[in-house]
Amino acid sequence: MLNLSLIETSMAFMHVEDDILYITLKEDADLKVENIDEMIDARIRIQNGKKMKVIADIRNIWQASLKARKRAASSEMQSQNIAMAIVTDSLASKLLANFFIKINKPSSPTRMFNSKEEGLLWLNTIGV
């Protein structure tokens, strides 16, 4: 089991547990390109070059700029993913997740779920 310390960025908390990266956005997160760049740098440190399955809990998101969504779908971010489960619970977070998945088209398998447990079940079906 791989457990690393919690990393905090301006808009998110990240930690690795059982080779899965958990990203939890902070309350009222308003994502801009510079926040995504900060997350990419944090992921490089915490993942140490290893591709991982990701649980991205965006239930606290307030908004994400078009440029931020494009950057999140970029090869610099996606090359670190095996697959990503996005956890949502509100209309706003579901709309942003849908835009990200259908418009920005991340290169790694990406799906939206109502709970972390559902997302983990799906991630466990994805081969390495």
pLDDT tens-place string over residues 61-74:
888 888 988 888 88
Tens digit of each residue's pLDDT (9 = 90 or more) over 20-47:
999 999 999 899 999 999 999 999 999 9
Q: Which residues contact 82 (CB under 8 A, 6 or more apart)?
A: 51, 52, 53, 54, 108, 126, 128
HSE-CB for 24 with a 13 A CA cutoff: 12
For residue 57, tell me if it sits in a domain.
yes
Domain contains 2:
no
| Total domains in the fold of the chain | 1
Residue 82 lies in a domain: yes
